[in-house]
Structure 1
Amino acid sequence: MTTTVHDSIEAGAVVSLPLLRDMLEERFAIHTRQLTELVVCGVLPHHGGHDPRTLAALTETSRQAVADTAHALQRMSQGTYGLCLGCHRAIPWGRLRELPEAEFCVPCDRARPLP
């Protein structure tokens, strides 16, 4: 079954939700596996040979990637996937294809303050 993300998405673009869901699920599995490996390294003697600060930063990045991907899958289930959280317009297909967990269109993402 092929459906569109939103009717307002780029004219003529037919977006396959199953394809995007597959991409997100694959990314979720990869990020979860990476996070597990990093957590295990963190409890090993001498942190498995990794610098503790680097390991902590990598672990936090992996945690955020898992959370972002899970949130995208949740938005997909709720029917709000593909809508920008800033302007509430459709996020262009090209952006979703390159960054399926995107929550913002490029203009809104650029306008956001840096963390």
Structure 2
Amino acid sequence: MTAALHDATHPSAEPMELLRAMLEEQFAVHTARLTQLTVYARLPRHGGYDPRTLDGLAESSRQRIAQTAHALKRMSEGTYGTCADCHKPIPLGRLRAMPHATNCAFCERRRPETLVNEG
């Protein structure tokens, strides 16, 4: 186990295992969805989807897969649950709501791309 799991400011081992299970499930769901969309894209009528819509949904699935894989990698490295900007622990509630979160809510609000998307 990593030092992050034993530190009182980080989630304990039990919530971490639950978060890992959530991430693994999300990875499986998004991978299955991407596979389904890829099959639809090859069908004559695209499974009832507009080709541009299929492209957008596939890209969204790819992004979710990448975010989830990155979170699982951070778990294996012992850096999961620590804000990438301020290096403080990300609250467990935020991780439960967004298991792939890389930043605490405060730092996320300060990020330039977040400000552009909100405006």
Q: TM-score, normalised by structure 1?
A: 0.86
Larger displacement relative to structure 2 (102-111 or 72-81): 102-111
SS of the equivalent of 2:87 reads coil
In the other structure, the counterpart of 1:77 is 76
- 1:83–1:89 Cα contact (<8 Å) kept: yes
Output one character per residue of 1:73-103: Cα deviation in whole Å (capped at 9) or x when no partner. Answer: 0000000000111111110000001111111
Output one character per residue of 1:18-53: Cα deviation in whole Å (capped at 9) or x when no partner. Answer: 111111111111111111111111111132220111
In the other structure, the counterpart of 1:56 is 55
Does 2:9 align with 1:8? yes
Larger displacement relative to structure 2 (42-51 or 22-31): 42-51
Read off the aligned partner of 1:90 and give its amino acid letter.
P
Read off the aligned partner of 1:95 and give its amino acid letter.
R
Higher helix content, 1 or 2: 2
In the other structure, the counterpart of 2:89 is 90
For the aligned residue pairs, the C-alpha RMSD in angstroms reads: 2.0
Unaligned runs of 5+ in 2: none
Q: List aligned pairs for 1:26-41, cutoff 5 A.
A: 26-41=25-40
In the other structure, the counterpart of 2:46 is 47
Deviation at 1:15, TM superposition (A): 5.5
Aligned length: 111
Larger displacement relative to structure 2 (65-74 or 104-113): 104-113
- 1:38–1:55 Cα contact (<8 Å) kept: yes
Deviation at 1:113, TM superposition (A): 2.2
CA separation in 2, counterparts of 1:47 and 1:18? 39
Sequence identity (%)? 54
In the other structure, the counterpart of 1:19 is 18
Moved over 4 A (4+): none
